[in-house]
A and B are shown apart, each in its own frame.
Chain A
Amino acid sequence: MKKFTYTEKKDTRSGFGVGLLEAGRSNPRVVGLCADLIGSLKMGDFKKEFPERFFQVGIAEANMMGLAAGLTIGGKIPFTGTFANFSTGRVYDQIRQSIAYSGKNVKICASHAGITLGEDGATHQILEDIGMMRMLPHMTVINPCDFNQTKAATLAIAEHVGPVYLRFGRPAVPVFTPADQKFEIGKALLLNEGSDVSIFATGHLVWEAIEAGEKLAEAGIDAEIINIHTIKPLDEEAILDSVSKTRCVVTAEEHQRNGGLGDAIAQLLARKAPAPMEMVAVNDSFGESGKPAELMKKYGLSSENIVEAVQNVLKRK
């Protein structure tokens, strides 16, 4: 198992904030919109430097999505900012008609995704957003794993033409992605080569997968770990290549089992290369209040759960 280290923990939303500022500096067409969550989304620096290109929309997310669609007419590249819950379910029809179906170059940037939002509880902990967004034709869906990758992804989506859903979170998590690593949309990242099992992880679960890989290595299990930061379009080639070697799969995500990364990969494998598979994900339940680490444990999203899933899937190989 390759050794992964980190010197600090940072929140992925801060990577978004830094990336947005940089994108704004390099591209005058980039504009920002926020629905009364500038501090939470880390959009303050962009607002300060580019006040004329930033629009406070108040607590009115539906209007924000429509405004963003309209801003693209005339060549702007709008980045909307609010919590993942209010970036998706609350405004699904606005995204569907005015953005996705209309093919608008809007970047829907969603913080506080998943259960690690923590103490605010299930009203705010959306675990269905990946599913909703990946069902929409034309939509690209990205869930980066750490500060550096979120920053790089933010810069990459500014260059990409088409609607994008960028999902990130609230808690401070290990920063292990190289700061200079370029983000390629739709290109899975092989973190550790292995031959016994393929672990496909996204977002906060990528670090958990690395920790699981280390524990598995101690037990003599050689896990291949792949970071699927882009859930749509899925890097089918990378996934099929890995599974052709390992012949069994574990997926890991901070999302419902229904509709998420595991679902996407299961669909691919069912069509092209059926293999035993286990999914580390929330199993058809809402979350609750608590500390992020406590919730990850209670809802079965920790490295221990990935280890257990690997042990189970190996028995079915």
Chain B
Amino acid sequence: MPDINKLKQIASQVRRDIVRMVHGVQSGHPGGSLGCTEFLVALYFELMEHRSEFNMDGQGEDLFFLSNGHISPVWYSVLARSGYFPVEELATFRKINSRLQGHPATEEGLPGIRVASGSLGQGLSVALGAALSKKLNNDDKLIYSLHGDGELQEGQIWEAAMFAAHHKVDNIISVVDWNGQQIDGPTLEVMHLGDLRAKWEAFGWEVIDLPDGNDMEAVVNSVRYAQTLTGKGKPILILMVTAMGKGVDFMEGTHKWHGIAPNDEQLEQALAQLEETLGDY
């Protein structure tokens, strides 16, 4: 049985890390990071079998790919808190000579990152390639990928979706962060995504609804259920509804905090809402 309270405590610390990192450099994307905190914490501290002694090939372990690379703060925090690299390194986020680039990259050799992402729409293809590699290697571990909902406006996503069903890539669980927001405003106004469930089903995917992706227990249960559906000839997709900016009341549910940093006063307001559970970096 997962210790949900422990996962929630980690999530609280990760949220502190996110707002402190973005404040520290006055740059970065807090909104989507805060919204996906439960998912990434659940993945790295409960759901995936993985090794923090980083190996690029990742054979014999579950692998995660972040396609919407701009939410790097949440991933960096979770990787550091999982032991991939020192927690103190979070203070270098987006600064010169850092391994923690604005968007995830392999160039500086940051442990845990297997491909650069940030230019949107590419991560599903890469994740599928890694899934094929696992099959060729008779490696029964799984591939996970995370995508923004706005990112689904990229055509390459649908090329990849079509490929996955045709080639029966059934060792992948892809997750859409459905927060309904993108830089210019609500997705409903910028570019309506339509009936996402129907779209993915029409492309041949097994689709799971996760109506509250900020409920830790629901996230764990949903991904556990998805795991039971793998290996049955179809790729799996979780439509995970989240609130952008979750956990910091003035950032919640608005695209305005997609890509801006809190000032000193706002940082204090945010931290007052987030319990320090593991010690700040």
Contact = CB atoms under 8 A, between A and B. Distances in A.
B269 interface: no
Contact of B132 (A55, A60, A63, A75): A55
Contact of A57 (B107, B127, B136, B163): B163
Interface string B121-152: 11111111111111011010000000000000
Nearest to B104: A102
A28 to B, nearest CB: 9
B126 A98 contact: yes
A73 B125 contact: no
A71 B128 CA distance: 8
Contacts of B126: 66-67, 69-70, 73, 98
Interface in A57-95: 57-58, 60, 62-76, 78, 93-94
A97 B122 CA distance: 9
Contacts, number: 122
Contacts of B128: 63, 66-67, 70
Interface centre among A52, A58, A69, A74 (most CB of B within 10 A): A74
A34 to B, nearest CB: 13
A291 interface: no
B156 to A, nearest CB: 4
A71 B160 CA distance: 14
Nearest to B124: A66
Given A69-B129, A74-B133, A55 B156 contact: no
B132 A67 contact: yes
Interface string A40-55: 0000000000001101
Nearest to A138: B107
B86 to A, nearest CB: 23
A102 B106 contact: yes
B117 interface: yes
Contacts of A4: none
Size band of the interface chain A makes with B? 20 to 34
B58 interface: yes
Interface string B98-113: 0000000111000000
Interface in A96-113: 96-98, 101-104
Contacts of A72: 129, 133
B81 to A, nearest CB: 23
Contacts of B130: 70-71, 73-74
Contact of B116 (A75, A78, A97): A97
A73 B132 contact: no
B215 interface: no
Interface residues of B, number: 40
Contacts of A98: 115-116, 122, 125-126
A168 B116 CA distance: 29
Nearest to B65: A70
Nearest to B137: A74
Contacts of A53: 136
B139 A74 contact: yes
B259 to A, nearest CB: 19
Interface centre among A62, A70, A75, A76 (most CB of B within 10 A): A70
Contact of A67 (B119, B121, B129): B129
Contacts of A52: 136
B127 A70 contact: yes
Given A102-B106, A103-B107, A75 B57 contact: yes
Contacts of B127: 70
Interface string B34-70: 0000000000000000000000111100010100000
B125 A71 contact: no
Given A58-B166, A64-B125, A70-B129, 7 more contacts: A60-B159, A66-B125, A67-B163, A70-B125, A73-B126, A74-B139, A97-B118
Closest 3 CB pairs of A and B: A70-B129, A66-B125, A74-B133
27 contacts: A57-B163, A58-B159, A58-B166, A60-B156, A60-B160, A62-B156, A63-B128, A63-B159, A64-B125, A66-B125, A66-B156, A67-B126, A67-B160, A67-B163, A69-B125, A70-B115, A70-B126, A70-B129, A70-B130, A73-B56, A74-B136, A76-B133, A78-B129, A98-B122, A101-B105, A102-B106, A102-B115
